[in-house]
Amino acid sequence: MKKLMMAVFAMLLMLGLAACGGADEEQGEGNGQKKELTIGVIPAQTEGEMQGAMDKLESLLEEKMEREVKIDTYPDYNGVVEAMNFNKIDMAFFGPLTYVIAHEKSGAEAIITQLVDGEPFYHSYIITHKDNGFETLEDFLKDSEQYDFAFGDQNSTSGSLIPSIELGDRGVFTNEDEHKFNTVRYTGSHDATALAVQNKQVDAGAIDSAIYNQLIESGKIDEQQLKVIWKSDKLFQYPWAVNKEMDDETVEKLQEIFIDIDDKEILDAFGASGFTKASNEDYESIRQAAIKQGVIKE
């Protein structure tokens, strides 16, 4: 009987230790620390351009959240969606289109968006070089077969989805292989599109309005060489979204921190004047556009 009681005691002790170990693992390194907060960021501009600001944001979040934070800038939009889908990250900075895709795939939830001049909206622009004779999209499309056109990343809202719908409705674009341009290319980023137009490598291209203005302000492109020939309706700005498992307390803390950010380098990295709260409902028009293009199924 004594041996039996000792065996039972030993088993209970092992179970207790295992439970403590699991709790420690949940906390981080077994020292009561919260686990690392992992964040993925889409390449709104060419990879590497945002690194200094991301380092600052990482430090700010670590200080305010009192936990380790790791921010990674992904080489393409789809990589961030997949990282959220496979629970590799807790939070992500998405484009509106990549957000609705991530929401459909993994239940990601928008909690914050950026402000530009105090408004949570931006536009898709189609720009051309000022040496070109056309002043409107209609002028440009009259002889579209003569011209080369550039989109940004294929998963970009303003650099691909919205302008492709506009050009499709005008009967000149179906996809990369079916169109009425001389050539169509995807540059991979907004600043690459702007430079391609400025350097006359293409005749026109689609770009995010906020990033276009930011590139002008920073001197990376010359406003005197470019002009806007088309502007979309208002689009709700890029969201920060969290994993569907994130608790409400952490969400509220993140919202509070982002709304208080006034560091110019961080804000400039996103072409923002500030941040404000957002929700999934704010992106319903983008979801409908994605359904129209067959990007997601209803």
Let me know if residue 2 belongs to a domain.
no
Same domain, 130 and 228: yes
Range of the domain at 138: 124-232
Is residue 61 located within the same domain as residue 87?
yes
Quick one: 92 and 48 in the same domain?
Answer: yes
Q: List phi, psi (to 5°) of 72.
A: -120, 135
Q: Which residues contact 18 (CB under 8 A, 6 or more apart)?
A: none
Strands 69-73 vs 37-41: parallel, antiparallel or unpaired: parallel
Q: Are residues 99 and 163 in the same domain?
A: no
252 and 283 inside one domain: yes
pLDDT digits over 68-82, tens only? 999 998 888 889 999
What pLDDT is stored for residue 112 in this prediction? 98
Q: Over the stretch 181-236, which tens digit does the pLDDT of each residue have?
A: 999 999 999 999 999 999 999 999 999 999 999 899 889 999 999 999 999 999 99
> Do 147 and 103 share a structural domain?
no
Q: Are 259 and 114 in contact (CB under 8 A)?
A: no
Q: Is residue 195 part of a domain?
A: yes
Q: Are 253 and 126 in contact (CB under 8 A)?
A: no
Q: What is the pTM of this model?
A: 0.81
For position 52, what pLDDT does the model report? 87
Same domain, 131 and 210: yes
CA distance 296 to 298: 7
Task: Say yes or no: 130 and 217 in one domain.
Answer: yes
b/e sequence 56-75, b meaning 16+ C-beta within 10 Å: bbbebbeebeeebbebbbbe
Are residue 129 and residue 204 in the same domain, yes or no?
A: yes
Same domain, 191 and 49: no
Total domains in the chain come to 2
Return the CATH number at 106. 3.40.190.10
Consecutive H or E run containing 15: helix 2-27
